[in-house]
Structure 1
Amino acid sequence: MSLDGNRLNGFRALALIIGGGLQTLTFSPFELTWLGPLSVLLVLLAAMPLPASKLFRAGWLFGLGLFGSGASWVYISISQYGNTSAPLAVLLTAIFVAGLALFPAITFWGWGKLAGEGAVRRLILFPAAWIIGDWLRSWLLTGFPWLYLGTAQVDGPLASLAPMMGVHGVTLLVVATGAALYALIDLIRRRQTIPAVTVAGITLLPWALGPLLHSVSWTERADKPITIAAMQGNIPQQIKWDPEFLEQQIATYIKMTAADWNRDLILWPETAIPITQDQAGPLIDSLAQRLGPDSTLITGIPWYGFSDALEDFTFRNSIMAIGAGQGMYHKQKLVPFGEYVPLQQYLRGLIGFFDLPMSSFSRGPSDQSPLTAGPYQTMPFICYEIAYPDFVARNAWNTDWLITISNDGWFGHSIGPLQHLQIARMRALETGRFVLRGTNNGVTAIIDDKGQITERIAQFERDVMRGEIYPVTGATPYMATGSWPALILALILIVFARPRQLPKPSHQTHAG
């Protein structure tokens, strides 16, 4: 079938789904970064001829391709660890993917309404609509800041622009490149040589400039590194919250740390201590005694206590510093169903997935201080939180490095944990800071201030990672501005490129 005409036919629908699926291949573990602009081009070839009334469905089909291939790892959480039958897990995963696909559906619909039928306006407004859609997805209904095209550029030519523009700015460039390729094909077809050369030159400029900026450093490393050790316990998810295996889990981490109590910083992963801090007092005291005089242990541990905001006792997913450091941080960005259940008065008890262990956490306050580790300050992010670009940038101020802990055991042997690691690398790039990542079953890693992995432990291995990280000072431009420059540029494009209706001339006659 031809792409001519304005019907959303089978060929066009397939092209939209494939365009979404190709974007998954730009992320880890595939890392086919060059497919980013080409996937956008394919989507535009399918969507550009469509009237605005057909673009909602077109965006939804694209979303099915993207999230169906890139986020379907949620099936493992639902099926293997949610005590849910395979058919029901498939259904819930399909509902999850179809719901996420509504974000690009609304984005495409808005794009069509704003741009009208003009091809030039559509091409100009497409990147703008895309970025606003991505941004809305980062916070609406708690947000799903995953699978942003800019994240795939962490090893690509645009990587060095991330400290200046952030992931949304980089995504804007990738999508604009796809739109420019569409324009270039049209100009070549119509043999408009000079405009084609102009468009090609402008399109190539950021891709050529990016590698030249690779050596630019926005932050400054300290002269002396600190020594670290991170323990990856590889505790099976099935026994994580089983009281019979509680002592065994804690003993595992203590044994793994036996040779490293004098390191400057020791990191245990999310909920490595699977009892609340009010029950773990003797254990915390024992761990503090094992540590060297200048050593800090930072570990995930649930918290239980009275919340002034809630005026009640509550659980929180937390991380605390022991020894030469101090402080406790409570997770702010909770995972729906994993850490809290929306509409729980209706959903609790229906199926096992709505009663996952530790799914009754409350959100931590927004004005929390960094943890200290000796003379240094570090901002921790628990699991999903590292995916929020503006949240991380805002909290990275006045910190020497960043920490993220996670338990990616929920996602098994899927691509989810590797995508999660890639996201953490983008946060290191954006903030110009080392990121120390500790996980239960991988990937535990040291990520430097350029987003490169310097040490790592493979998935599903019980091992200790030893290495060094450098405290840094200073701030990147992105930390100062957040995503606002990209969003403001998108709004400017919308305001000035959308079609306008000129006022009709007056036909009134006046007596002389």
Structure 2
Amino acid sequence: MANNPLARSPLWVSGLLLLVAGASQTLTLSPWEWWWLGPISMALIVFTIMPLATRHLFLAGWLTGVGLYGSGVTWIYISISEHGNTSTPIAVILMALFVAGVAIVHGLAFWFWGKLGKDSPARRLILFPAVWVLADWVRGWLLTGFPWLYLGTAHVDGPLAGWAPVAGVHGITLIVAGSGSALYALYWLFQARRRTSAGVVAALTLALWLAGPALNRIQWTDLAEEPLSFAAMQGNIPQQIKWDPDFLRDQLVVYLGLTEDDWNRDIILWPETAIPITQDQAGPIIEHIASELGAGSTLVTGIPWYTFSDRREDYTFHNSIMAIGEDAEGVYHKQKLVPFGEYVPLENWLRGLIGFFDLPMSSFSRGPAYQAPLEAGDTKLTPAICYEVAYPDFVAFSARRGNMLVTISNDGWFGDSIGPHQHLQMARMRALETGRYMLRGTNNGVTAIIDEKGQVTERIPQFERAVMRGEVYSASGLTPFMNTGSWPVLTLVAILIVFVRVRVIPRN
């Protein structure tokens, strides 16, 4: 193994470096967007854990996760404390428990990496990016999933952006993590005076980075020649009055007033639960909207839905989005629910313990799979409500049947934090992966139009009551990632894990 100075350092030094390396990954994402820190962070992690014995690797991975989530999801504290009616000490404890819990995934991944790689530097270096991506994938579905802070998301503005419609966000993460391993490999090989091998590693790594800009010039989907006119309304309704019946009329007046000059737009977008009553009570307002819309115009809005569920054999609530208009059709019920925000795990035990477990509208049920897109005239809109836009394969699969993506959210839960900026960046990555325009409507920001390359063309600043207008284009055709999802990347990860072992790569 290379002469690694950390091999003789106290373990607390390694722990501190891993906390810093994990936290630095938050800086690669919005609002900082220092994507170049990604491979540096990965190289620092590899440099730190390479000399560690397997028995120390669980703690090493857990500390890396604590650094990442402790810095990257601070917005959760705002949801718990300010909007969850929870005291500061309890909010801090719940936040700490969440960070510590999610970080366990990285702890197990690092321990697994040590068991597989044993004491072979080559095996460890090759396996590291594979195990990192495997951990990302696991936390994307485990216990409903937490697909947040994927390192590849930073490259919506980075040189690897061109890989997104080919391999998705996990593919980009694999390249970034592999680059971290490659940097350590170069250090190791130069110390061993194996310059030819070092040259091969450098060339392969550089080729992947140079391919990104080339791939980004490819137009994977075909955009319509004629644009559609679009307007989105950002009401900036305070979260404290969102579900207060005394302010129901005021909220509807706000959105009707904002839409006054735009009823003839092809597509009009109101945010998540802009109509804060269920559809069975909202008949008059829905009829009023339909009567105001111009010929061929469609208004898409968030609205709670109360209906009978065949699956549950009972009446249930859904967080939904519907299309209103003469040529409009469709209702979509959210499938990826936010734990504690939209449903309460172990509800019979937790309800009533503290205010956070009794948030308004936290009894939603999951919508059925394989729902049809919304229809706005000839345009099919693939919907994603709030948290759903964080799931790359979920959005890519749904987008196969649509010409345009639409997402609505209420990021008022996160206040003036980094959460809404991260959320917007993930929406941009989904547009880039699918080669489709993304129409994003939020209560208090960031409302935006995102083009098929993941670039924001129009936006409304946060915490402003305003209207955004612009032109959008429907798209046809599928990107490679829409055809395959993350399975090629996961297959490569599995191949590396299965075949990079003692009998394939000897110790030296």
C-alpha separation in 2, matches of 1:75 and 1:233: 24
Residue 153 (structure 2) pairs with residue 145 (structure 1): no
Aligned-partner SS, 2:114: helix
Taking the TM superposition and a 5 Å limit, the aligned residue runs for 1:87-486 are: 87-323=89-325, 324-486=327-489
How far does the alpha carbon of each residue in 1:383-412 deviate from its partner, in whole angstroms, 9 at most, with x for none? Answer: 000000000000001211000000000000
> For residues 322-363 of structure 1, what are the alpha-carbon distances to aligned partners after superposition, in whole Å with 9 as ceiling and x for unaligned?
013111000000000000000010000000000000000000
User: What amino acid sits opposite 1:65 in the alignment?
Assistant: G
> Which of 491, 495, 503 is matched with 1:492 structurally?
495
Q: Which runs of 5+ in 1 are unaligned?
A: 503-512
AA aligned opposite 2:317: F
| Per-residue deviation, residues 99-118 of structure 1 (Å, max 9, x unmatched) | 11011111111111111111
Deviations 1:275-331 (A, max 9, x none): 000000111011100000110000000001111110011111000000131110000
Cα pair distance change 1:314/1:196, threshold 3 Å: same
Query: Contact 1:72/1:97 (CA < 8 Å) preserved in 2?
Result: no
Contact between 1:107 and 1:133, CA under 8 Å: does it hold in 2? Answer: yes
Q: Secondary structure at the match of 1:66?
A: helix
* Contact 1:378/1:401 (<8 A) preserved: yes
In the TM superposition, residue 171 of structure 1 has moved relative to its aligned partner by: 0.5
TM-score (norm 1): 0.96
CA contact (8 A) 1:446 1:456 kept: yes
- Matched to 1:94, the amino acid is A
Instruction: Report deviation, 1:500.
Output: 3.7
Distance 1:444 1:466 in 2: 11
Contact 2:6-2:14 within 8 A present in 1 as well: no
Shift of 1:476: 0.2
CA distance in 2, matches of 1:271, 1:3: 56
For residues 8 and 55 of structure 2, what CA distance do their matches in structure 1 show?
A: 10
Shift of the 6–111 alpha-carbon distance from structure 1 to 2, 3 Å rule, reads farther
CA distance in 1, matches of 2:99, 2:476: 41
**Residues in 1 aligned to 2:504 and 2:370: alpha-carbon distance in whole angstroms:** 47
Q: Is the contact between residue 27 and residue 147 of structure 1 (CA under 8 Å) also seen in structure 2?
A: yes
**Conserved? CA contact 2:6–2:48, under 8 Å:** no
Deviation string for 1:47-70 (max 9, x for gaps)? 111111111110000000000000
Which of 470-479 and 109-118 deviates more?
109-118
Q: Is the 8 A contact 1:6 1:51 kept in 2?
A: no
Deviations 1:141-170 (A, max 9, x none): 000001011100100010011100000011
Say whether the 8 Å CA contact 1:8–1:58 is kept in structure 2. Answer: no
- Normalized against structure 2, the TM-score is what? 0.97
The one-letter code of the counterpart of 1:119 is: P
Q: Contact conserved, 2:408 with 2:440, CA < 8 A, in 1?
A: yes
Question: Secondary structure of 1:5's partner?
Answer: helix
SS in 2 for 1:304: strand
SS of match in other structure, 1:318: strand
* Percent identity (aligned): 63
| Aligned-pair CA distance for 1:128 | 0.8
How far is 1:190 from its partner?
A: 3.0
**d(CA) in 2 for partners of 1:257, 1:90:** 41
Q: Please report how far the alpha carbon of residue 6 of structure 1 lies from its aligned counterpart in structure 2 after TM superposition.
A: 7.3
Task: Give, in angstroms, the shift of residue 3 of structure 1.
Answer: 4.1
In structure 2, what is the Cα distance between the partners aligned to 1:143 and 1:114? 25
| Alpha-carbon distance between aligned partners in 2 of 1:304 and 1:375, rounded to the nearest angstrom | 28
Q: CA RMSD in A?
A: 1.2
Distance 1:387 1:212 in 2: 26
Q: SS where residue 258 of structure 1 aligns? A: coil
1:221-244, CA deviations, whole angstroms, 9 ceiling, x for partnerless residues? 001010000000000000000111
Q: 1:7 to 1:53 in 2, by over 3 A?
A: farther
Q: Give the Cα separation in 2 of the matches to 1:149 and 1:238.
A: 34
Native 8 Å contact 1:37 1:174 kept in 2: yes
Q: CA deviation at 1:185?
A: 1.2
Does the 8 Å CA contact 1:6/1:49 hold for their aligned counterparts?
A: no
SS at match of 2:143: helix
The Cα shift of 1:501 comes to 9.8
> Would you say the 8 A contact 1:8–1:54 is kept in 2?
no
Preserved CA contact (<8 Å) 1:7 1:50: no
Distance in 2 (CA, whole Å) between partners of 1:459 and 1:4 is 45
- SS of alignment partner, residue 293 of structure 1: coil
Unaligned runs of 5+ in 2: none
Q: Secondary structure at the match of 1:213?
A: helix
Instruction: Name the SS for the 1:466 alignment partner.
Output: strand
The match for 1:59 is 61
Q: Write the distance in 2 (CA, Å) between the matches of 1:344 and 1:151.
A: 33
